[in-house]
Amino acid sequence: MALALQGAFEAALDDPAFDGHFPGRPILPGVALVARALDALERATGTHASDWRLENAKFASPVAPGTRLEMRHQEEAPGRVRFEIRAGERLVAAGLFARREADTP
């Protein structure tokens, strides 16, 4: 059966990722979004971050504190999982994780 995940989270104002990004207009950095997507993938598959590589990512729009985000993962081929993060209908981020081969450092 192909992997399919769905979940939601809020970009909380007290998230340390907002620190310094940016005074007066806080924006959640893209790396924090990728980290959330990878964490969900790890938990669902029982793997570790080092088992995956980020093959590509697109950051389509900024995320302000308090924004409710929906995240979906879909396996598109064995060992390749596409993720998408949305704020309602608005695409925030999308990308593809690829499973590292056992002999790849």
Looking at the annotation, which residues are catalytic?
21
- What span, in angstroms and rounded, lies between the C-alpha atoms of 13 and 26? 9
The confidence score (pLDDT) of residue 83 equals 98
Interior CA angle at 69 toward 63 and 72, to 5°? 125
pLDDT tens sequence for the chain (105 residues) = 589 999 999 999 899 999 988 889 999 999 999 999 999 999 999 999 999 999 999 999 999 999 999 999 999 999 999 999 999 999 999 999 999 985 444
pLDDT tens digit sequence for 53-68? 999 999 999 999 999 9
> Torsion over CA of 77, 94, 50 and 36, rounded to 10 degrees?
-130
In the chain the domains, ranked by start, together with CATH numbers, are: 4-14+25-99 (3.10.129.10)
Angle at 57 between CA 30 and CA 64, to 5 degrees: 25
* 8 A C-beta contact, residue 37 and residue 85: yes
